[in-house]
Amino acid sequence: MPAQFDLPAQFDLWNESTTSPELSVDEVLATLEQWHEWGWLRALDLHFARFLQELGEGRAEVLMLAALTSHQAGRGHICLVLSELVARPFETLKLPPEPMGQQGAPALLKTLAGYGLDCLERALASASVVDAVHPESGSAPLVFEHGLLYLRRFWASERRIAHHINVRMRSDTPGAPSSEALAHLFGASPSDETDWQQVACALALRQRFAVISGGPGTGKTTTVAKLLVLLQQQSLAQGGEALSIQMAAPTGKAAARLTESMAGALTKLPVSEAVRAHLPREAMTLHRLLGARPDTRRFRFNETHVLETDVLLVDEASMVDLELMAALMDALKPRARLILLGDRDQLASVEAGAILGDICASAWPPAFSESMCRYLEHTTGADLTVTTHEGGIADHVVVLQKSYRFSDHSGIGHLARAINQGDIAQARAVVSKGFSDIALTQIEAGERTHVYLAVEGYRAYLEAIEANASPAEVLAAFQKYRMLCALRQGDWGVETLNERIAEALQARGWIDQSSGWYVGRPVLITRNDRQLGLYNGDIGIALPDPAAEGRLRVFVDQGERIRSVLPARLTHADTAFAMTVHKSQGSEFETVTVVMPPSDSAIMTRELLYTALTRARSMCTLCIADTEVFFNALTRRVQRSSGLSQRLGELTDQR
């Protein structure tokens, strides 16, 4: 790695020349190549700039902006906000200052900003590789609209999502439920307390698009189970055919949990057999629902071949990325109901976009139009003291507020609230109060306390293997504990900790070897495999198969069934003693150990801490070398650039 990169004189950070800065194409491409060598940019970002040059783009500033737009897409952003780039380039791009120090990046970005926002906007507006006037009728690889620079496919996906939401917001209002029907399922609520579950159900019954958000234990599944019962009751009572209702989730594990939790919720409800017979029994992954095709972004179901579904429920919607959400909405009939379920405070999708967060942005604190307030109060009997507005997307969103899992005596519940509010003082108070379900453990350099916690945590499933328990029993025991990490690499990351935990288990005699395939090795499936019927996020464990003379097979938990696969066929599977917080979304465990890096990192945010903490049902141990890293993370939020909230706001203005 070179220690210094010589830049042309006009890139000097302290150059106070009053003349307009000028960049040459060769200089910019050379700098982008250097940034790629240092790991700042992906090869894809560099190749995109070169591709645009080959298409005939000769302005260096346009090529630079194109590479940075691609860079932002790789970080989960839907677009590059030009005004933020000019005003705060380092904060916007999150480019690290090392190893160049004051050499290349600050100078180059200042030079780029020196063009001025107006100049850059004019360059983009006249560039042949950018559509800026009527982008819907163009085909350029970049789109510049409302001060935002997009890759075309991201712009198209965002626009389609806004269009589909608008269609459902403007469609005829379905029949509203009776107060008696709601009361029959929900019962009476305390007069001084709003039953937000009932409010959410009433709101969703009136709309073709609805979002129900809430943290763990707030009753999202219970609410939507009652919602589906009422929808089917309405349809059958009105003499119509039974509705076609389907349930889906982003990952196999999330779909399995939805299947299980919905089955449990529905069995507790007073429902006639005629209605019960037409309620959904199994959730599937979104990719399976849409008919994913190998080696392509396309799906079997799309805008020209739509799903014959009247009601679609999507759980863990915070995990759904921009393009998958657009594909999903494309595949629905215009009059089909779409109900999104999820936690707006969780981490956003791994891929680009934060769709649930964008949709919920105007829904907290709760705010409804006057007409929606009157309807909800009349239907539920609630006294809604909320902000009123002119209507729009907020009339389609309810955030559940009461946790039935975390009581007033739960440290997890108190800390989760402090994290979401960014309240460092309250977080310190919770950690120091001595709650029985949460602990913050400080680990000195070289210590392996967290590894020993994992060894004890996994004892139950290893004992189940020794006792010749069934694969289902072993998998259930494994799901009681998990170690979660903020990072993938390094001493505090998933890769290193998986090795150390395996070595410690081998030293204790729990496993025979610590690498390769061995009895008891847990694995996380990292890519959908239609041929094997496996999905990203599935968990499996290598066990001897009695039906095959004890030969090793991997038994994968898919909720409604256990699938077995030969180890040699699993080309996309990682050891899963430790997993990233991102990969844990859609799962819950009795006990969780969270391992955090010893120094501040941009990856440490409120959303990451909240997601990690709330994977635990009964106990969470936070392991860290410097406790201030944990508290400093409360000052950071995941901010993903997007134009979706603006587009949805425009829909409000048009109503």
Which strands, in side-by-side order, build the sheet including 616-624? 438-442, 616-624, 589-595, 481-485, 578-580
Write down the H helix ranges in 210-314.
Answer: 220-237, 252-267, 273-276, 286-290
Distance CA 241, CA 228 (A): 15
Is 216 annotated in a binding site? The answer is yes
Q: Which residues pair with 541 in a beta bridge?
A: 522, 555
Is 221 annotated in a binding site? The answer is yes
285 exposure class (CB count in 10 Å sphere: 0-12, 13-18, 19+)? buried
Cα 575 to its chain centre, rounded Å, is 22
Measured in degrees and rounded to the nearest 5, phi and psi for residue 384 equal -85, 105
Is 422 annotated in a binding site? The answer is no
Distance CA 391, CA 234 (A): 26
Nearest to 36 by CA among 73, 68, 11: 68
User: 166: which residues sit within 8 A by CB, 6+ positions away?
Assistant: 651
Is 496 annotated in a binding site? The answer is no
Is 94 annotated in a binding site? The answer is no
Is 89 annotated in a binding site? The answer is no
Cα 49 to its chain centre, rounded Å, is 29
364: helix, strand or coil: coil
Is 559 annotated in a binding site? The answer is no
In a 13 Å sphere around the CA of 128, the CA atoms on its Cβ side amount to 9
Q: CA 325 → CA 73, 565, 615, 650, distances in Å?
A: 16, 31, 24, 20
Is 217 annotated in a binding site? The answer is yes
Q: Pairing between strand 573-575 and 311-314? A: unpaired
Distance CA 433, CA 440 (A): 11
Q: Which residues pair with 616 in a beta bridge?
A: 589
Q: What is the token pair recorded at 291? A: 């008919």
Q: Binding-site residues, please?
A: 214-221
Residue ranges for the binding site for ATP?
214-221
